[in-house]
Amino acid sequence: MKWIFLPALLMCMTSCAVDPQLLNGAWRVSGYYQNGQNVAATLDSVRLEFQPDKTYEFNSIGYYRESGTFRTSGNYLFLTDTTAGEPKERALKILFLTKDTLKIVMQRDSLEQVLFFTKL
């Protein structure tokens, strides 16, 4: 039985990892959910852009901007904002990633936030 379980586990570990090449490019938010509820907000200005040199830039509603470095591990995306006084790393879980669709989940305070992105 363990000979069947081990290969299946190894296959899942490799297939569950994110291909960081798919992140490269500019992304626009197409949906935003908080604690499972659709949030009605103007999302036109919310953008996330990843560069091949492992840097990112995020623009949100209003004048909020951040940029810095990113890395992936398994199905997690780690963003380090270097525009703040002291750089802080934030972990986001990638739920789904293809060449034109990105779905992430994150915790902010006690709220679960899910964002859907489409590639520009």
pLDDT digits (tens, 9 = 90+) for 69-108: 999 999 999 999 999 789 989 999 999 999 999 999 999 8
pLDDT above 90 covers a percentage of the chain that reads 68
- Please report the pLDDT score of residue 12 as a whole number: 46
3-state secondary structure 99-114: CCEEEEEEEECCEEEE
Work out the mean pLDDT of the chain and round it to a whole number. 88
* pTM of the model as a whole: 0.82
How many whole angstroms separate alpha carbon 52 and alpha carbon 37? 34
pLDDT digits (tens, 9 = 90+) for 26-45: 999 999 999 999 998 888 88
Q: Where are the domains of the chain?
A: 2-119
Domain spanning 2-119: CATH 3.30.70.870: no
